[in-house]
Copies of this chain bind each other. A is one copy, B any other.
Amino acid sequence: MVNPAERLAELDGILMDHLLEAGLLQELPEAYRLVLLPLDEPEVAAKALAWAREAPNPEGWPLVYALFLEGRPVRLLLPGREVEVAPRAA
């Protein structure tokens, strides 16, 4: 049984490493809230979405969704546009 919070922290690290290596960090807005959605880890994704919905967001920061498959980031959904992160998930 995976601990969703721990897994999300891990995915966050994986995403940031990947964006850094791929030179994609500048794609992120200055301020944002990140929602990590591993599409093949239902419990983790459900928790991530629930926390994103429950968390207060007084500054109105945009949400950035990161879609993962097999533990790898595949797509970033940014405000108004998208970034393909990995050429192929599998």
Q: Is the Cβ of A77 less than 8 Å from the Cβ of B50? A: no
Cα A28 to Cα B79 with chains together (Å): 16
Contact with B along A1-44 (1 / 0, CB 8 A): 00000000000000000000000000000000000010111100
Q: Is the Cβ of B77 less than 8 Å from the Cβ of A65? A: yes
Q: How many copies does the complex hold?
A: 2
Task: Report if A75-B49 is in contact (Cβ < 8 Å); known contacts: A40-B42, A42-B39, A80-B80.
Answer: yes
Contact with B along A43-75 (1 / 0, CB 8 A): 001100110010000000001010101000011
Q: Is the Cβ of A74 less than 8 Å from the Cβ of B49? A: yes
Smallest distance from the beta carbon of A29 to chain B beta carbons, Å?
Answer: 12
Cα A63 to Cα B81 with chains together (Å): 9
